Structure 1
Amino acid sequence: MDDRNKQKNEQGADAVKDVIASIFREHGSLKTYRKNEFIFQENDAPSAAHYTETGLIKISQSSQEGQGITLFLRYPGEVFGNAELLTQLPRRRYAQCLMESQVITLESRLFLELAITDATFAFALAVTTARRLLQTQNMVETLISRPVAWRLAWFLMQLGSEHEGTVEVQLQLSHEEISYVIGCSRQTVTEMLNKWRELGLIAYTKKQIVIQDPSRFFAAI
């Protein structure tokens, strides 16, 4: 993709986010949630859609063994919990705050009314859903076709933000939660991070990873 098309796509994505944000801010109610507090639980009736104003939300599902498997992360500017409203199905997953978060809640009746009557809002929701489907397809392809080390490196890059030539990752997920996302064991995640630290590819503390040189990092794994 050339720079012109990339810029056009980014502008389109920003416009879609702006539409959704304006609807939630105008019609929804803002609430601050504590770290680890649940926004909704599995099997709840869908009573609202939600928008992450600040913080970080994990969308997880319980396994047969009772462990929580993290499927998605919802960052500031992202809507979540709307699929069950549109399909009128009980919640299959739970939403939990990984840090103190501000979330805007738009109750179900009003959300559905706006989705029906406001064409711009409906289109923005459709575009968001389509993009998430493509992201999920890319994730599945990554999990199937790439080795574990590459999957972990790719996931860290998704979580991180660029800063003066490095990528900084604030670790809000445990090693076990990361292992569920990329499809490996907790021990493998821990061993890889320790190995990369010993090789000088990352600076690693309990809550932060800094990838010193992303190009060298990917070349070395």
Structure 2
Amino acid sequence: MCLQSGGFPILKNSQRFPSLLDAKILRGLPPATQAEFVDSCSLRVFKRSSIILHQGEPTDRMYLIAEGRVEVSYVSEAGHHSIIYHAMPGQILGTVETLSERPCAGTCTALSNTTLLFCRRPELLEKMQSPIVLRNFAADLHDVLRHDNRYKSVDQFFSAEQKICAYLEKLSDIRGVFSESQGYLADVVGCSRQTVNKELGRLRETGIIEMTKFGIEIRDTEALRSRLSELDRSRSQSSSSCA
């Protein structure tokens, strides 16, 4: 631990964010190596929402989320804006682009009150010499592919009500709170605010969610998933009746 000029201690990254030692990219490494990895990264704090990676532009650094959330979005050639997901603490961003020296596949926006660690390309290449880190990076890519495949199916086959339930869980933070507006949720799902309000009303009446000053709080995650399954069964029965 170092001291500032006034005698106050300066905590290392691993001391300030001990939960990062359990990040996927560090799994299987000796504790001392995990701490060294985290401590070697630089730190940035975002009090307001700020873009950290721009779609179509190069980057030379990998980000590791310490606190807060990062919105990952994509704009199609036709100009359609899609919110892909919210990255949470412990997740990494920009790794593929940094290693491949290819432009960013999407835009990453650090939401307000988010803290990020980052390391530049030379340091990242050095860290990737470890077979364990390389394996963890490949595992992270695999998780991203599974996630993308699942939500491509959600977007293509789910009803608006099902999408609301799915994205409500997906975009909530580690406390189970969705802190964005209902209009934001409507944009993600691709439906009207009236449809969102109607489904949220049902979820609130059954005690699955609660409206708080912090946002929409999921009180019962299992019940939310059951609601999603119930909607799926109802939709399947309707399709069978029509057939």
Q: So what's the TM-score if we normalise by structure 1? A: 0.75
Deviates more, 1:192-201 or 1:47-56: 192-201
1:80 deviates by 0.7
Is 2:209 the partner of 1:202? Answer: yes
Structure 1 contact 61–71 (Cα < 8 Å) conserved: yes
Deviations 1:27-58 (A, max 9, x none): 31111112212223233321111000111111
Give yes or no for the alignment of 1:146 onto 2:154. Answer: no
Given residue 82 of structure 2, which amino acid in structure 1 is its aligned partner? I
Structure 2 gaps, min length 5: 1-21, 232-243
CA distance in 1, matches of 2:213, 2:185: 14
Q: Is the 8 A contact 2:26 2:133 kept in 1?
A: no
Match of 2:137 among 125, 149, 170: 125
Structure 1 residues 145 and 206: alpha-carbon distance in aligned structure 2, compared to 1, 3 A threshold: farther
Instruction: Assess, with a 3 A threshold, how the Cα gap between structure 1 residues 25 and 104 changes in structure 2: closer, same or farther.
Output: same
Counterpart of 2:46 in structure 1 is 33
Q: Distance in 2 between matches of 1:44 and 1:144?
A: 29
Q: Which has the larger radius of gyration?
A: 2
In the alignment, the residues of structure 2 paired with residue 134 and residue 62 of structure 1 have an alpha-carbon distance, to the nearest angstrom, of: 21
Query: Contact between 1:24 and 1:105, CA under 8 Å: does it hold in 2?
Result: no
Residue by residue, what CA displacement relative to the aligned partner does 1:119-165 show, whole Å, maximum 9, x if unpaired?
11111100110111112111122222322212211222334579xxx
8 A Cα contact 1:36 1:97, kept in partner: yes
CA distance in 1, matches of 2:173, 2:97: 31
1:104 CA drift (Å): 0.5
| Secondary structure of 2:145 counterpart | helix
After superposing the two structures, state which structure 1 stretch, 19-28 or 53-62, moved more.
Answer: 19-28
Letter in structure 1 aligned against 2:178: L
Query: In the alignment, what sits opposite 1:5?
Result: none
Mapped contact 2:85–2:171 kept (Cα < 8 A)? no
Distance 1:205 1:65 in 2: 37
- What amino acid does structure 2 have at the position aligned with 1:150? Q
CA distance 1:66–1:135, change in 2 (3 Å): closer
Aligned 8 A contact 2:168 2:178 in 1 = no
Mapped partners of 2:91, 2:104: distance in 1 = 18
Deviates more, 1:151-160 or 1:190-199: 190-199
Q: Indicate the residue corresponding to 2:191 in structure 1.
A: 184
Going from structure 1 to structure 2, the CA distance change for 1:203 and 1:16 (only over 3 Å counts) comes to closer
1:111 Cα offset (Å): 1.2
Distance 1:89 1:102, change over 3 A: same
- Counterpart contact for 2:65–2:90, Cα < 8 Å: yes
What's the % identity of the aligned pairs?
A: 21
Contact residue 209 and residue 218 of structure 2 kept, 8 A: yes
- Superposition deviation, residue 22 in structure 1: 4.7
Aligned partner of 1:171 in structure 2 is 178
